[in-house]
Amino acid sequence: MKISLEYKKPGKLLNPGSGFLQGYSHTLNPYTGCSFACSYCYVRRMPVGLFRDQEWGTWVDIKSGAREQLLKELRNAKRKGPVTIFMSSSTDPYQPVEYKEKVTRSLLEAMTEEAEAQPDFLFVQTRSPLVTRDIDLFEKLRDKIRISVTIETDLDQVRKVFSPYAPPIQARLKALRELTEAGLPTQAAVAPVLPSSDKFPSLLKAATDRVCIDDYFMGDGSGGKRTKQLGLRSLYEGMGYEDWYHPEAYLQVANAMGVVFAPEQLKISRDGFMPF
């Protein structure tokens, strides 16, 4: 899929945490748009996805001068109180364009450059193995960070139906193991819950000591209404997985995870995405 790229100077990088992420002082998105183009992405039904004459997933705006701007914003924000950042809420910080542009890395450099600009907590949410590139910077925030890797299923044939442009499951598992072995706080985000096999819990247990389970009904910010508008039921029906598109389907995965993860290692929905 061809991606249209544009360079834009953002008016502001740090935005107030709200709604699902109101436990954070700020959200931070290195890019606008996301070329992973996951079929279930709730951002498709938000203004940034709706009011643009391009299909979601076919365009990405690259934020110019982000490092210098973030440094200024961080200094100002820190003077007003604790700064907790969720990165990212409406894009993947490690989507393919990051290989070349390195906007995300530049933001991490800004956060670790000087003590007075360090956030009090940083949550990194991604589904890309590229995240391991920045272990050197994550280590500088070791006590103030959690890295969450989305692994919605262990079945790559399911991943190919719901998010064909996203990285393979095995590559994500490998990346998560590498981050965990580096001594960094990590988690697997089974979000949204997709059809999986009985092996899923043990695969995650080998990669991390924490799992967060979320679904459309708890996590799309509208009780599942945004997701329903995307017409995803047909994808489930086409694979014979109709029973998985249900508000209680997550319990099947949660119960299975509970066999190998201790209660304190298993989080449900918003609780798994909040700061320390």
CATH placement of domain 4-273: 3.80.30.30
pLDDT for 101 equals: 98
Task: Assess contact for 273 and 24: CB atoms under 8 A.
Answer: no
Mean pLDDT of 87-113: 97
pLDDT for 116 equals: 83
pLDDT for 117 equals: 86
pLDDT for 6 equals: 96
Query: Can you say whether residue 240 is alpha, beta or left, with left for phi > 0 and alpha for psi between -120 and 50 degrees?
Result: left
pLDDT for 216 equals: 87
Distances (CA, A) of 3 to 6, 57, 58, 177, 269: 10, 8, 5, 30, 31
Domains of the chain, by residue range, sit at 4-273
User: Per-residue pLDDT for 225 more than 90?
Assistant: no
Torsion, Cα 43 47 29 179, to 10 degrees, reads 0
pLDDT for 217 equals: 87
Which of 179 and 47 is assigned the larger pLDDT?
Answer: 179
Per the prediction, the chain carries an average pLDDT of 94
Question: What is residue 259's DSSP assignment?
Answer: H
pTM score, whole prediction: 0.96
Model confidence at 179, in pLDDT bands (50, 70, 90)?
A: very high
Task: Assess contact for 196 and 155: CB atoms under 8 A.
Answer: yes
Mean pLDDT of 183-207: 98
Model confidence at 229, in pLDDT bands (50, 70, 90)?
A: confident
Q: What does the pLDDT look like over 106-127, one tens digit per residue? A: 999 999 998 888 999 999 999 9
pLDDT for 162 equals: 96
pLDDT for 230 equals: 86
- % of residues, the chain, pLDDT over 70: 99
In angstroms, the CA 217 to CA 140 distance is 36
User: Per-residue pLDDT for 2 more than 90?
Assistant: no
pLDDT for 238 equals: 92
Q: What does the pLDDT look like over 63-91, one tens digit per residue? A: 999 999 999 999 999 999 999 999 999 99
